[in-house]
Every structure is written in structure tokens, then in C-alpha cells.
Amino acid sequence: MLTFRRALIFAACIITVLFLVTRSHTTPTKADIIPPQDGERTKTGYVPTNPVSTSSTGKALSAAGRKKGSGQQIIQDLSRASLRDKLEYQFPYDVESKFPAYIWQTWKYTPASGDFGENFRPAEASWSEKHPGFIHEVITDQVAVHLLRHLYTSVPEVLEAYNALPMPVLKADFFRYLILLARGGVYSDIDTWALKSAAEWLPESVPRESIGLVIGIEADPDRPDWADWYSRRIQFCQWTIQSKPGHPVLREIVANITQETLNKKANGSLKGFKDNKVIEFTGPAVWTDTIFNFLNDEKYFDMSTGKGNITWREFSGMTAAKKVGDVVVLPITSFSPGVQQMGAGDYDDPMAFVKHEFEGTWKPENLRHIGVEVSK
């Protein structure tokens, strides 16, 4: 017999389930970007303010990110879906959503630990100082495992690949793509300083609902022997990335690394993996290739309106931000100021946003940060 009390309990259970389902699967609103309230850990963002120069290559993104406002797509049987379909279903992309107000960093220890390097503290603190109201997290290796298990439970291939990676640097590379795909926000290496708030990275003239990914130039080596020092003629920086959740570039690189890792695991080639192969496997080389593939993908761009494929030439010698579809590319000065080469300005340049100290990276196994191939 259904008593009044049992009816109330049943109704409460139904309301709770509905709340959890809608919270997990609701597409972010089109409201402009606002900071989170104290203690709030939802997908909120911020309002960028300061203008910078911008230009365009002439290619238009079709349907503004392919699935603008469409939210999650129904998949009848996830077990039979492709890896990319699973990722798209789990982390839908809405270009009109907000830039989440997250700052993600990774290190062996958290700043609360006495083992956290004193040389990292001022740089780490700069991100909180420049981004009041943002959620700023330094994720340790142990926490990363549990966090990814929570985020990617429905995509077990990704978890298998992450756990199979034989080197910490590979996992650190993979983690930045994984966390940005799932949650969005800003990822930046622990040895970087925030010179300006991410609210100042985008041109004010560019509508925030039209941008889903912000990247910078890491290397633009205009010299005949560039291939002796860098892996690509134009190399995009991956020590600092800003994105909205579900961006197709992030989905693609996560799928590529996952499949490549599982292939290597199956054939036994992960054993004895060489440090100088990191840049091509998970580092800036594969990141750069994935971005260029996206910019020339007819699924997202109307290829008939351009004058051919977008190549490194469109980004060489840049001094201002350039918008291509839903991607903004920043000049080398923005994330690599003070390198005193390749046209980069100094730290006080108006376009200098992030300073990279390369702390602990000038070792043979870590030179992939600047694109140098290391021979053993």
C-alpha cells in the first residue's frame, strides 16, 4: 500500500536521479563568460576584456564548430561505437558555451606539500594572483589516475592507454589533453608564470561564443637548418593551452594517442621507449600536426572558400593574434617571450601573456619542450 510517507520518499528519489542526470549531461548555456562564486566548481568562465590585433586566413568554420548547441548525441550502443564517437558523446562540444574558469597544472607534489620546490612557488602563485575567482588545481600523478578514472570510465580504452604509457613525461603530455577535453579551461606547465590574465588573451573584437581553442606559437625558425633544431617549421606550444570542453582538436589528439599507445602495447614496442621519441608521440610535434589537420579538415571548414591548404606560412612572422574558424593562434611573444630569437618580444611586450622558465627541462630527456631532437 502506497502511504503518504512512501510517496514522499519515492518522489524524492525521482527528483534526485533527475538532478544527477541533468547535471551530468546538460550543455553549457550561451550566457557570456562569468567567474565562479566562492567554492563553486561548475563549468563557468570569465569575461575577457583587453583588445589585441587580429586577422584571418579567410577560411570559415562550417556550422561554427560542427555541432554548435547540439549537445550530446544519442548513441544506441556505446560498446559498438568508435573511440571518437564515444569521446564526442561523453564530452560534447558547444562553441557557444563559456570558457571554463579552471587553471590546471601538474607536478609531483601539491603546493601544500613541503616537498613542493621553492623555485616553483612564485610561478605557481602567479596563476592564482592573475586569475581571482578561478579554480586553480595542481594535480599530482596519484590524483591524476583517480581523476581520469572518474572522467573516462565510459571510455576504458583511454584509461588503458594512459596506464600503459611507460614514462611520466608521456603521461604528463597526455593528461593535459585529457583534462582539457573533459573539463576545458587553461592548462599550463608548473614552470610557467602568468604575466597577464587569460581574460586578456583574446581580441575583444572576437565574440567569445565563436572561439573554442586558444594556442600559441612555440617555434618559428626562419633558418635553413631549422630541421636540425625543431621538429616542425611552425610548432605550436603545448605547455600552455586554453580550450572549451570537447573541442575536436582535443578529441582527435586523445583518440590518436590512445590508438597509437594501444598499438605499441600490443606489439611490445612500448618497452625501451626512447626519450627522443616523446615529441612525436605525445609532445608538440603531434600536437602541431593535429591542429593543422583540423584546420584543413572539410568536416569543419568550407574548403571551397580558401586558396588551398593552411600551412606554416600563414603563421610565420606573426605579431598579432590570428583567428581561423573557432581557433585563435597567438604570436610567439604570447607564450614564449624573452627567448631572444624567432621574432619573440620581451617579457614587457603588450602581447606577452605567459613566461616559461624551462625549469628542469634543459635535460636531454626534456628538450622536447623546445622542439630539440636528442640523439643518444
- Most confident residue range from 43-52, 252-261, 332-341, 366-375: 252-261
Render pLDDT for 175-209 as a digit per residue (tens, 0 to 9).
999 999 999 999 999 999 999 999 999 988 888 89
| Residue-range domain boundaries for the chain | 49-370
> Looking at residue 276, what is its pLDDT?
83
- Cα distance between residue 155 and residue 87, in whole Å: 7
> Looking at residue 77, what is its pLDDT?
64
> Looking at residue 243, what is its pLDDT?
98
Q: pLDDT above 90 covers what percent of the chain?
A: 62
Residue type, 209: E
Task: Say if residue 122's pLDDT is above 60.
Answer: yes
Among the residue ranges 42-56, 122-136, 170-184, 211-225, the one predicted with the least confidence is 42-56
This prediction has a pTM of 0.78
Render pLDDT for 98-115 as a digit per residue (tens, 0 to 9).
999 999 999 999 999 999
Q: What average pLDDT does range 44-65 have in this prediction?
A: 35
pLDDT band at residue 358, thresholds of 50, 70 and 90?
A: confident
Among the residue ranges 171-185, 235-249, 331-345, the one predicted with the least confidence is 331-345
**287 vs 375 pLDDT, higher one:** 287
Task: Say if residue 80's pLDDT is above 70.
Answer: yes
> Looking at residue 75, what is its pLDDT?
56
Please give the mean pLDDT across all residues of the chain: 80
Say if strands 185-188 and 213-219 run parallel, antiparallel, or are unpaired. Answer: unpaired
Q: Give the residues across from 356 on adjacent strands.
A: 192
* CATH code of domain 49-370: 3.90.550
> Looking at residue 283, what is its pLDDT?
96
